[in-house]
Structure 1
Amino acid sequence: MSSDSSSSPSSEYIAGLRAALAATPNNMALRLLLAKTLTEAALFDQAVIEYQSASTTDPQSFEAAFGLGKTLLQLNRAKDAKPVLAQAVRLNEGHAEAHLLYAQALSAAGDSAKPSSNQGYRRQDTHS
């Protein structure tokens, strides 16, 4: 980490992660760490690329879908985030933040508050 900013990863740290990933391109944990680090450094477009690569490598990865959807929302790309966050909710139905971000994506994209069943979100009614 940079000595001048403890909250943002240094370019040297990011370069090190990229070098390690170049040596082991199928290392999913490392790719996700790089994507998260790029997000923390506010390098959102680069983070999207890494999250997309992780999602392509493992379509069942909650971390990849959730990270990609969250990052797309940070880029104000709600329409792109909707299907990705729907996938994240399908992959981990108990993850509260995934549900919240999915609802935010729906709202920002101008969709109704109640997601349709074909969007991958299941609403459970608790009242009869």
Structure 2
Amino acid sequence: MSELRDNGKPLFIQIRELIEDQIVNDQLKEGDQAPSTNQLVQFYKINHVTVAKGVNQLVESRILYKKRGIGMFVAEGAKNKLMTKRKEDFMDDYVVKMVREADKLGLSEGELVELIKRVRRGESNGE
């Protein structure tokens, strides 16, 4: 398990995102048992209620499901749901803003694509 960061996000969201990342990265696959609330509490040394809130959000969104007395498991189609949501969020959080800024700068679609290719090749000024 990876570490939680002091990034301004509430811990329950970090717990949720940690499990989501494990699903997206195929560390947890459909039908696999997710880490238990108790395991997460012990590992991260945080409040049980905080962990439960993050896990319950995944249950509510049908990414995880509960088997009474056994634990939490990754639901069928969980990875696809997460990937679809993340792609939508990526578009809303980054692509829309990038395109708007490109429009302000008068960049053509071709120029914008070329800039993206340069970044992918590691030719950006920011590195």
Higher relative contact order (CA 8 A, sep 6+): 2
Q: TM-score, normalised by structure 1?
A: 0.30
Rg larger for:
2
Q: Give the number of the structure whose residues are more often helix, by fraction.
A: 1
**Per residue, is there more strand in 1 or in 2?**
2
